[in-house]
Structure 1
């Protein structure tokens, strides 16, 4: 891919915005960056470009907070299944038509946005956690390997485990960084991670971190509930656009 000024501007602004959203609500950097980059550059390029910023920011989120060891012991089955799932998902990525994958990403974003807008009360799954975690991890990994999206079904599932807010945010960081690692390994092993895109992905770390700092400032001045409503509505619109782009536009 040619590094044109337009490309650098798109990547920089995308990760600045994605980092800002993550700074406000503690998640959604892959969602925002994937949605915008898939709509402008294509899904496979978007998946590669979001990997390094997603991994770095989520490792930071996952390590800080004091619950890291406890969460690793609790979620190891989910994380192992997620890594395995990303391998199968990345394999399917090489054999599936791009328009189908873009539509799948769009549908995933729409579902995620609607879930966020409705914020339904979910039943607790703590008693089923031992056998349900590997299933959720595997499903999340497969979907992540196919589309790059790491939010479903793992985020709603984590909400059913009765964690504190801090532990929940830290658990999301651990899960998202694990998925990014698995996707990176899967794509590299299948020669789907060109060095030029890998370098450009690394460049995206700086605006992502800057955006996170901006987001933290916004968080103390803005109603988090109102911001989430605007954000999730925007995700639905973006997902609908990606589906339309895949089959209509």
Structure 2
């Protein structure tokens, strides 16, 4: 299983000025690997993640998953069936509890999960959310706790592609290390493709493959 970015370019306009973010980016991500992407602020790391996950359409280029163009297969199908995203801004549903946020994020096609509710609870516990906290409204949780819920949501969905945008930015060191270990295990033990943007060099060093986005190009560090 692989995810191929082919000749990807992206730019945006502010007034009459056009700014190029990505220029003819080519890279193939493979299952069983934990990737980290570093680069200076404003280099386009989040944009690249957004394009690869199907949230943003590139100006030029194609994205192929398992040899098929994701737009030909249907972008909604691609995002629902194959991707999970851990957003830097959490993107939780504010009127739901932590448990409900994770439960609603699960794909209804996961028939192999015998006890879905227990599956959700176990993933919340794994990221440090207690049984008491998981039934509180997410807006009553701290920023770090909300990020843990966002991570649990991605873990529960069991997608083959996991995209993470600075998932440990609001977490303490112990919890941060635990989540990085989970992401590494998902890649190595469950053969998922995990792609994470980070500014933390020590975290980046733990990846199977380190990439850097600089001068509109993606290269191996």
Answer yes or no: same fold by TM over 0.5.
Answer: no
TM-score for the superposition, normalised by structure 1: 0.28
Larger fraction in helix? 1
